[in-house]
Amino acid sequence: MSYQNILFEAQAGIARLTLNRPDKLNSFTTAMNAELLSALDAVQHDNTIRVLVISGMGRAFCAGQDLADPAMAIGPLQPDIGNVIEEHYKPLILALQTLRVPTVAMVNGIAAGAGVSLALACDLVIAAKSAYFLQAFSKIGLIPDTGGTWFLPQRVGMARAMGLAMLADKLPADKAQDWGLIWQAVDDGELSATVDKLAAQLAQMPTRALVATRLAMHAAPNHTLEQQLGVEAGFMRELGWRDDFKEGVAAFQQKRAPKFTGQ
């Protein structure tokens, strides 16, 4: 598929997906949502890819739903935006959460609305210190969507999640790091090199174990400790038969660096 609203490339095990509507702060249109899903599907079916990095072109990561898109039309032709969520945003977040490789959001600038949720749906979020996170929804009479009501309280606790969502204040990247919303805020000039290094590191790691870590962590809030111990046993059972586990143990015993294949 050729893309008009995103850039997508894969090299040396690292896939890079860049939202590419910089003049509209990379806000989501229906067309861009479809391209995102297509790119995620390509990652899912390419065994040579070991990590995905998502970023935005220009001064924003993503400003959420494009408010000028027909999907947000008001008046007689107004669509049911519940359907828009069901048809576009829900599959996007579920595709990211079940992706077979670890994911990194490189938040190069403004993240607002569903753009914040897109970043938070990635496994690791690295932001430029000049970036900020804005729960813009209450300003237009909506609620945090695209997983926002799920991600926010888990990461920052209910008091901060409620404050962010209701008041829609900009949360600077370094404070987002302090609050545990994101993994790391770095100087703007270091963002690209930091993410390149991280992506290269992840691309050499045991891919299936990283993804199982995501799945297990995200399953935990719905489980008792006993249930979660069972979830862990299930993943360990599966991973224990894998090449990467055998390689990891062999490398340890032979006092050498492991060579993981993602299998």
Is 249 one of the binding residues for ligand T3D (CB under 6 A)? no
Q: Among the candidate windows 19-27, 34-42, 96-104, 239-247, which touches ligand T3D by CB under 6 A?
A: 19-27
Say if residues 161 and 137 touch (Cβ distance below 8 Å). no
Q: Among the candidate windows 57-65, 122-130, 176-184, 185-193, which touches ligand T3D by CB under 6 A?
A: 57-65
Is 136 one of the binding residues for ligand T3D (CB under 6 A)? yes
Least Å distance, CB 81 to ligand T3D, is 4
Is 128 one of the binding residues for ligand T3D (CB under 6 A)? no
User: Which is nearer to ligand T3D, 67 or 215 (by Cβ)?
Assistant: 67
Contacts to ligand T3D from residues 25-44, by CB under 6 A:
25, 27
Least Å distance, CB 4 to ligand T3D, is 16
Among 32, 57, 104, 114, contact with ligand T3D (rule: CB under 6 A): 114
Is 81 one of the binding residues for ligand T3D (CB under 6 A)? yes
End-to-end CA distance of the chain: give it in Å, rounded. Answer: 27
Is 208 one of the binding residues for ligand T3D (CB under 6 A)? no
Q: Which residues bind ligand T3D (CB under 6 A)?
A: 24-25, 27, 63-68, 71-72, 81, 84-85, 110, 112-114, 134, 136-137, 140, 142, 145
